[in-house]
Amino acid sequence: RVGGGGGGGGDQRTRTVTKKAAFFSPRWCRLRAVTAVEYHHSNSDLMLVALSRSDGGGYQDADGVVCLWSVANLLERPESVLTCQSAVTTAHFDPFERTLVVAGTYSGQIVVWDTRAGDQPVLRTPVSNVGHTHPVYSVSMTGTTNAHNLVTVSTDGRMCVWSMENLQQPQDTLELHSPASGGGGVGTGAGGGTGGSAASSSSALTLAAPVAVTCMKFPDGDTNRFYVGAEDGSVYQGYRYGANSGVYARCAAHGGPVTGVDVHPPRGAVDFSNLLLSASTDWSVRMWDTRQATIDNRVAPLYAFADAGDYVYDARWHPRHPAVFATADGGGALHVWDLLDSTEVPLVRHKVSAPRALHKLAWSPHDGRGILCGDSSGHAYIYDVGDDVASPAADAWQRFNGVLARMRAASTSAAALGGDVAE
C-alpha cells in the first residue's frame, strides 16, 4: 500500500456526511434516470438536474427534461423545467451567460435554453451530417468571456466546435480515431506541452476504428488539449488544433467502458493539473500522471482504487482540497477519498440511493462543502461533507506532494513486475 498522511485509515476512521436537501418531482422525474448534475457558477442556490427518457411515460411526455432546482424553494418543486424532443444525455450551465443551459441529446442534436424564454430551446443544431447523428454524451464550453466555443463529441468519434451565435453549422470538425499502434500512452505531446514529436505522432496515427466517446474533459483554462474516455475502456488524449490535432495518445486504462474522467483543478500552492481520474464499469477508479510515458507505449496508473465493489459511474476532484475526490457507484454509494488520510479506504462511505445506482456527482464550486448527487430513479440529493474537507490546511499541498512521490515510486516498481499499484 501507499500510505497517506494519516496512516492506514481503516473503517474506524470512516466519517459521515449530512444530507442537506433532496429533490424529486413525480411529474417530471418518475421513471427517469439522472444523466447530469451541476451547480450554477454564480448562484449557489441553483442546481441543474438532467434526466433521461421516461421508461414508462405516455406519448405526451417530453423525451428530454432538465429540472432547475433551488435550495431556497420551499414548495418542493423545480424552479424551471426545460424540455426538448430527444432524451438529454448531458447538460451544463453556460459559464459565460448566466441564463443559458446547454445540452447534448441522444439524437445528436445540441439544444440551448434561455431560462428567460420559457421551457423550449431557443437554439438547436441540425440533426444531419453537418453536425452529429449519434448520441452526444459530452459537451464543454472553452475559452473566455469574450472568446469562447462550445465543443461537443458524439459516440462515433466526431468532435464539433460551435459558435454560440450560430448553431446551424460548426466552425470546425474533427474525427477522433484510435491509433492502431503506438501513440505513447496518455501523455502531453507537441502542441500542448512536453514529450513526443510531430513525426512520432504521424507514424502512430494509423487510423483504426472511430473512438466511441463516453465522456470528455478539458483541463481548466486549456482550449486545445482534451481527454476522452471510451466504450473500449481506453482513455485518449487529443488536441483540437496544431500538428497533433485529433487523437494523439491512447492508454488501455480499464477493463470496461470509461464512465467519467476528471482533471485536477490547478489551484493552490502546487499545481497538480497533471493528475487525471478515470472511472469505469470494471469497478475501479484510477489516477494517472498525464506527463508519464513508457518506452513500450504503455502508461501504468499512478494508483488504482478498487474499493467500490460495483460499477463506478463518476469520479470528481474536490474544487479546493488537493487530495480529495468523490466517486459514485452502481450500489448507490457515495465515497469521498482523502488521500492524506488513506489511499486504501475512503474517508466517507455513504449509501445514498441503494439499491438504486448513483450516477452523477458535482461539488459546490462556491465553498466546497456541498456535493450534489443524482441517481438512477430521478432523485437528486445535496450532502454536506464538513469544514475539514472544504477548508484544507495550509500544508495540504506539500503533504499531497509527498503522497504522490510515494505513489510514483510504488507505480514504477509495480510496472516492472507487470501489475498496478493497489491491485
Q: Mean pLDDT, the chain, as a whole number?
A: 87
DSSP-derived pairing of the beta strands 88-93 and 80-84: unpaired
Residue 57 is predicted with a pLDDT of 61
Phi, psi dihedrals of residue 353, rounded to the nearest 5°: -135, 15
DSSP 221: T
Burial class (CB in 10 A: 0-12, 13-18, 19+), 16: exposed
Average pLDDT over residues 38-61: 87
Three-state SS sequence of 403-416? HHHHHHHHHHHHHH
Residue 412 is predicted with a pLDDT of 76
Q: Tally Cβ neighbours within 10 Å of residue 295.
A: 6
| Amino acid occupying residue 327 | T
| Amino acid occupying residue 24 | F
Q: State pLDDT tens for residues 265-298.
A: 998 899 999 999 999 999 999 999 988 743 334 6
Task: Please state, in angstroms and rounded to a whole number, the distance separating the CA atoms of residues 277 and 413.
Answer: 21
Weakest mean pLDDT among 39-48, 248-257, 351-360, 377-386: 248-257
Proportion of the chain above pLDDT 70, given as a percent: 85
Phi-psi bin for 314: left (phi > 0), alpha (psi -120 to 50), beta?
beta
- pLDDT confidence band for 413 (50 / 70 / 90): confident
Residue 179 is predicted with a pLDDT of 72
Q: What is the pTM of this model?
A: 0.88
Phi, psi dihedrals of residue 335, rounded to the nearest 5°: -115, 130
Residues 6+ apart with CB under 8 A from 146: none
Nearest alpha carbon to residue 247 among 259, 235, 239: 239
Q: What is the distance, to the nearest Å, from the Cα of residue 125 to the centroid of all Cα atoms in its chain?
A: 23
Proportion of the chain above pLDDT 90, given as a percent: 71
Q: How far, CA to CA in Å, does 151 sit from each of 41, 87, 174, 283?
A: 19, 19, 11, 29
Residue 239 is predicted with a pLDDT of 93
Q: How far, CA to CA in Å, does 362 sit from each of 36, 168, 327?
A: 9, 31, 10
Nearest alpha carbon to residue 380 among 388, 390, 371, 391: 371
Cis ω for the linkage preceding 365 (within 30 of 0): no
Average pLDDT over residues 133-140: 97
Task: Please state, in angstroms and rounded to a whole number, the distance separating the CA atoms of residues 418 and 259.
Answer: 25
Task: Please state, in angstroms and rounded to a whole number, the distance separating the CA atoms of residues 94 and 237.
Answer: 24
- pLDDT confidence band for 209 (50 / 70 / 90): confident
Residue 334 is predicted with a pLDDT of 96
CA distance from start to end of the chain: 10
Dihedral Cα 287, 236, 88, 116, nearest 10 deg? 90
Q: How far, CA to CA in Å, does 377 sit from each of 104, 130, 359?
A: 20, 35, 10
Q: State pLDDT tens for residues 77-116.
A: 999 999 999 999 999 999 999 999 999 999 999 999 999 9
- pLDDT confidence band for 16 (50 / 70 / 90): confident
Q: State pLDDT tens for residues 356-373.
A: 999 999 999 989 999 999
Nearest alpha carbon to residue 51 among 364, 374, 315: 374
C-beta separation of 397 from 414 below 8 A:
no
Q: Is the predicted pLDDT of residue 193 greater than 50, yes or no?
A: no
Q: What is the CA radius of gyration of the chain?
A: 21
Weakest mean pLDDT among 4-13, 319-328, 382-391: 4-13
Residue 34 is predicted with a pLDDT of 98
- pLDDT confidence band for 299 (50 / 70 / 90): confident
